[in-house]
Amino acid sequence: MSETDELLIHRIIQGDTSFEKLVERYHHQIYNLALRMVNHREDARDITQETFIKAFNSLPLFRHQCSFKTWLYRIASNTCLDHLRRRNRESCRRIENHPQSFQDMVASIPTQRPGPEERLLLDEREARVKNALAKLPDTYRLPLVMQHYQEMSYHDIAIALDISEKTVSTRVYRAKMMLKQFLTGGENDEVHAERKTGRADGRRVHLL
């Protein structure tokens, strides 16, 4: 019978076992979350590594007020958002300096192709959904990915993102409506979603 996260954390802090056991347990889930968010395999690997480094360094501060998995997802979520903000700033600078190369830059973003079997199942609709997902604002894409692809409950998503369950529900609903809009070609594929970012208690808080 496998050890619980709580027992592993206690043993890791005591020096009786390796943090690698927690990495092995959650690596695939965190990588998949990062890949859905940034749509780039190398960046997703970097984000995954950074997430576990942050978790390891902060492990003595973990107070078990939520599950380790939820706590880890909070770290991963903020790491993804930090990466996307940096990438957006860099993209804006490239577009300003080289506006004619913007289409080439977009076309160069690699598509996710996990393996031969899954590649055979990747049909036109799945590709369209993936492209539409990439167009969503980060504030809406993240809870949708966590709910749909990671199968997390609204309660756990709320804790991970430090927002209310009602806000999670609203954002997931709006994300699905925007996806539907993209897939049906409405509004010329534009997103009219207001995004605001604030801080509270030293943590990032993303507000509607």
Interatomic CA distance for residues 208 and 196, integer angstroms: 7
**Which position has the higher pLDDT, 187 or 168?**
168
Domain(s) labelled CATH 1.10.1740.10 in the chain stretch across 1-110
Residue 193, amino acid: A
pLDDT of 59-76, one tens digit each? Answer: 999 988 899 999 999 999
By the 8 A CB rule, do 94 and 86 touch? no
pLDDT of 114-168, one tens digit each? Answer: 555 555 555 566 777 778 888 899 999 999 999 988 889 999 999 999 999 999 9
CATH number for domain 1-110, candidates 3.40.50.300, 3.60.110.10, 1.10.3720.10, 1.10.1740.10: 1.10.1740.10
Share of the chain above pLDDT 90, in %: 50
Residue 205, pLDDT above cutoff 70: no
Residue 196, pLDDT above cutoff 70: no
Mean pLDDT of the chain: 78
Domain(s) labelled CATH 1.10.10.10 in the chain stretch across 114-208
Interatomic CA distance for residues 54 and 62, integer angstroms: 12
DSSP string, 13-75: HHTSS-THHHHHHHHHHHHHHHHHHH--HHHHHHHHHHHHHHHHHHGGG---SS-HHHHHHHH
Instruction: Please name the fold of domain 114-208.
Output: Arc Repressor Mutant, subunit A (1.10.10)
